[in-house]
């Protein structure tokens, strides 16, 4: 009796969720299901692959292997990532890559261009490390975790990372906005960490701009297919610059990126059908 009731309830819930997920209308179940696919498949891969990373722990080559597999999640979402000026990222030298930060999907975009960059490490907040098994696999793949609440410790970690960057010709990817930006019309103010690292190491800054995620809106539970342009700008040299030059450097780079961001927004939005429910708020 109870077994039958439990089975009936489970089947009813599954049927209801399936109807919501396959519905053409936006809804919270479908929205969070789409995001959970990314997290779930990423965790599954991390669980399987992290023991292999032990053969070369903390090697950036491990990240390339993981990215080659995870980038195919894009097909589930029907997202198109278009890289422009990728040859700038492909140069074999140490550099600091900075990009705007709109969503956790930025990581999926990075996976799709990781093979172009090749030797790449990412700076992430330490909380990500505790999301196992993904955090463990990321650590073994060369991701650098810093404690934002411990300025001294974070500085020391970035200093060590900077030395590795110049010695091994590795690129370091940071998000200078510091948090996800839900306003698809402009960039948030930049923090100086990435610029301080580049100036201290005397390596160029490579600005990378992701066009707006007009197809995502949390409040309206919208998650549609979409086209994202990943525009690589010309590298900005830091040779000869000092700490005193950092504020001007930050303003100059941010202005370049915001101008390109607005330009890309016009391009991708103008290409949409008239009835496409695009958004300017994430």
Give SS3 for 205. strand
Q: Which residue has the higher pLDDT, 11 or 54?
A: 54
Backbone angles phi, psi at 98, to 5 degrees: -125, 140
* The two structure tokens encoding residue 181: 């930006």
Across 88-101, average pLDDT: 95
26-270: CATH number: 3.40.1130
- For position 184, what pLDDT does the model report? 94
- For position 227, what pLDDT does the model report? 95
- For position 226, what pLDDT does the model report? 92
Averaged pLDDT score across all residues of the chain: 89
Domain boundaries of the chain, sorted by first residue: 26-270
Would you say residue 60 has pLDDT above 70?
yes
**pTM value?**
0.91
- Smallest CA-to-CA distance from 97 within 19, 200, 23, 207 is with 207
pLDDT tens, 99-156?
A: 999 999 999 999 999 999 999 988 888 888 888 888 888 889 888 887 767 666 666 6
- For position 275, what pLDDT does the model report? 85
What is the C-alpha to C-alpha distance for residues 225 and 105, in angstroms, rounded to an integer? 13
- For position 155, what pLDDT does the model report? 60
What is the C-alpha to C-alpha distance for residues 206 and 95, in angstroms, rounded to an integer? 7
Q: Which residue has the higher pLDDT, 103 or 158?
A: 103
- For position 156, what pLDDT does the model report? 66
Across 225-245, average pLDDT: 96
Q: Which residue has the higher pLDDT, 81 or 1?
A: 81
Share of residues in the chain with pLDDT > 70 (%): 94
What is the C-alpha to C-alpha distance for residues 207 and 257, in angstroms, rounded to an integer? 7
**Alpha helices, DSSP H, located in the chain:** 2-21, 28-53, 60-70, 74-77, 86-90, 105-117, 134-140, 151-168, 193-201, 246-270
- For position 4, what pLDDT does the model report? 79
Q: How far is CA 243 from CA 98, 131, 155, 240, in A?
A: 18, 35, 15, 10
What is the C-alpha to C-alpha distance for residues 128 and 155, in angstroms, rounded to an integer? 18
What is the C-alpha to C-alpha distance for residues 59 and 141, in angstroms, rounded to an integer? 6
What is the C-alpha to C-alpha distance for residues 60 and 118, in angstroms, rounded to an integer? 8
Q: Which residue has the higher pLDDT, 270 or 277?
A: 270
Q: What is the DSSP string of 13-66?
A: HHHHHHHHHT-SS--HHHHHHHHHHHHHHHHHHHHHHHHHHTTSTT-HHHHHHH
What is the C-alpha to C-alpha distance for residues 156 and 163, in angstroms, rounded to an integer? 11
């Amino acid at each position: 009796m109870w077994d039958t009731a439990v089975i009936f309830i489970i089947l009813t819930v599954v049927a209801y969720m399936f109807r919501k997920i396959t519905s053409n209308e936006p809804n919270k179940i479908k929205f969070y299901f789409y995001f959970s696919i990314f997290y779930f498949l990423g965790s599954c891969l991390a669980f399987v692959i992290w023991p292999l990373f032990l053969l070369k722990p903390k090697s950036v080559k491990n990240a390339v292997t993981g990215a080659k597999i995870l980038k195919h999640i894009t097909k589930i979402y029907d997202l198109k990532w278009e890289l422009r000026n990728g040859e700038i990222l492909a140069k074999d030298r140490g550099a600091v890559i900075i990009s705007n930060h709109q969503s956790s999907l930025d990581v999926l975009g990075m996976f799709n261009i990781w093979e172009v960059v090749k030797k790449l490490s990412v700076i992430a907040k330490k909380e990500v490390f505790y999301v196992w098994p993904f955090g463990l696999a990321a650590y073994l793949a060369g991701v650098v975790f810093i404690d934002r609440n411990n300025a001294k410790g974070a500085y020391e970690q970035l200093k060590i990372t900077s030395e590795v960057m110049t010695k091994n010709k590795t690129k370091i990817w940071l998000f200078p906005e510091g948090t996800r930006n839900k306003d698809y019309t402009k960039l948030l103010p930049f923090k100086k960490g990435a610029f301080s690292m580049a100036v201290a190491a005397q390596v160029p800054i490579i600005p990378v701009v992701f066009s707006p995620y007009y197809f995502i809106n949390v409040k309206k539970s919208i998650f549609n297919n979409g086209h994202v342009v990943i525009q690589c700008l010309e590298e900005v040299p830091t040779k000869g610059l000092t700490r005193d030059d950092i504020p001007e450097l930050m303003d100059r780079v941010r202005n370049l990126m915001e101008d390109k961001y607005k330009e890309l927004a016009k391009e991708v939005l103008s290409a949409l059908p008239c009835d496409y429910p695009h958004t300017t708020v994430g």
